[in-house]
Amino acid sequence: MSAVTDTHALLWWFTESPKLGPRAFQCFEKCEAGEFTILIPTIVIAEALSLFDKKRILFDFKRLFKQIHESENFILVPLDYPILQQMVDLKEIPELHDKIILSTAKHLDLPIITKDKRIQNFPNVETI
């Protein structure tokens, strides 16, 4: 099984935050055990770096980045033409980061691990 993650979910997992819901926690736990794959849009890493640089959340960005790079079950997904094509039709999602994350999940036909209500309420998209 696989899912796409948004930024909050990834950072909450990495920082062991109690804000991460039980279903999302289970996905990340299975990923760490090699039983699940979590796809990470590159915008999620860019947003995590921005939050780290602005000190809006305290964590070791280099350790997070290294852990993702060395893992076989965390996979970075680049922003490419097919995902950009998906973005053109997402007029209901104004925020660029969310639009890229949602477009990535739609392109890959995967659920999204997210707390974002706008994404959770978006039609034909499964969320965790």
For the chain, domain boundaries: 2-120
Q: Is the pLDDT of residue 56 over 90?
A: no
Measure the CA–CA gap between 88 and 68, rounded to whole angstroms: 29
Measure the CA–CA gap between 38 and 28, rounded to whole angstroms: 8
What is the CATH superfamily name and number for domain 2-120?
5'-nuclease (3.40.50.1010)
Class of residue 36 by CB neighbours under 10 A (exposed 0-12, middle 13-18, buried 19+): middle
Share of the chain above pLDDT 70, in %: 100
Q: Could you say which DSSP state residue 125 is in?
A: -
pLDDT bracket for residue 25 (50, 70, 90)? very high
Q: Which pLDDT value is given to residue 59?
A: 78
For residue 74, what are its two tokens?
A: 């965390």
Looking at every residue in the chain, the average pLDDT score rounds to 93
Q: Which pLDDT value is given to residue 51?
A: 87
Q: Which pLDDT value is given to residue 53?
A: 82
Out of 28-42, 58-72, 109-123, least confident range: 58-72
Measure the CA–CA gap between 27 and 3, rounded to whole angstroms: 8
32-55 pLDDT, tens digit per residue, is 999 999 999 999 999 998 988 887
Question: Which H or E run contains 87?
Answer: helix 81-88
Q: What is the pTM of this model?
A: 0.93
